[in-house]
Chain A
Amino acid sequence: GQNIDQPTEMTATEGAIVQINCTYQTSGFNGLFWYQQHAGEAPTFLSYNVLDGLEEKGRFSSFLSRSKGYSYLLLKELQMKDSASYLCANQAGTALIFGKGTTLSVSS
């Protein structure tokens, strides 16, 4: 199976740091993606991890531990525009299996 679990909702304030966790079943793992989705819009690609460790890309970083079936997305210096749903997705063959997403609300 490809159960992907992530928290449903998180809240944070502008300028803060937030970590969104994701756990997945390790069978058939081909890479872990993070997408951002604003309400009513399409998901947009944020990051990809296939090896263990931290990938940093500006204010966003993503971490992967394959042995633990665990990833997190780290958002620094939060801005109001970061309020969105963050989707963790596992590549299974040519398809993506998405988690339900974590809705992040950033307040001033």
Chain B
Amino acid sequence: DAMVIQNPRYQVTQFGKPVTLSCSQTLNHNVMYWYQQKSSQAPKLLFHYYDKDFNNEADTPDNFQSRRPNTSFCFLDIRSPGLGDAAMYLCATSIDGNSNQPQHFGDGTRLSIL
């Protein structure tokens, strides 16, 4: 089935050690999003790609970077994770970002910082 796949489901890293989370999609959607969701909070958009165009949210820390080497894959890089970065990271896609198209979410990667 077409889907949004995130790997790994659970990731543990050390304070300050770079970590990369991955997302792939078989939906051939143009737009890919990364959200951060902390416990009991709303998903917060970090950035998104419309095709190859990168769109960073104004309040996303510089510590967070993203890469989209092709249509199917998108990566979230955290250069120096801090304890406050422990969260669920959700990848989502949409066909073209238009308002009447729902976003399709992956199962998320839960990141823990030691």
Q: A residues within 8 Å of B by Cβ? A: 4, 30-31, 33, 40-45, 48, 50, 87, 91, 93-101
Contacts and interface: CB of A to CB of B under 8 A. Distances in A.
Interface string B90-103: 10001001111011
A30 B89 CA distance: 25
Contacts of A40: 108, 110
Give the one of A4, A31, A95, A101 with max B CB within 10 A.
A95
B45 to A, nearest CB: 5
Given A33-B102, A94-B50, 16 more contacts: A40-B108, A41-B108, A42-B90, A42-B106, A42-B107, A42-B108, A43-B43, A45-B103, A45-B104, A87-B43, A94-B48, A94-B55, A95-B33, A96-B43, A97-B45, A99-B42
Nearest to A47: B102
Nearest to B33: A95
Given A41-B108, A42-B108, A95-B33, A48 B45 contact: no
Given A94-B31, A95-B48, A100-B42, A43 B105 contact: yes
14 contacts: A33-B102, A42-B107, A43-B90, A43-B105, A45-B104, A48-B102, A50-B99, A50-B100, A87-B43, A94-B48, A94-B97, A96-B45, A97-B45, A99-B42
Nearest to A31: B99
B70 interface: no
Contacts of B57: 95
B99 A91 contact: yes
B100 A96 contact: no
Contacts of A94: 31, 48, 50, 55, 94, 97-98
A50 B44 CA distance: 22
Interface string B18-45: 0000000000000101000000111111
A30 B99 contact: yes
B40 A100 contact: yes
Contacts of A91: 99
A101 B110 CA distance: 19
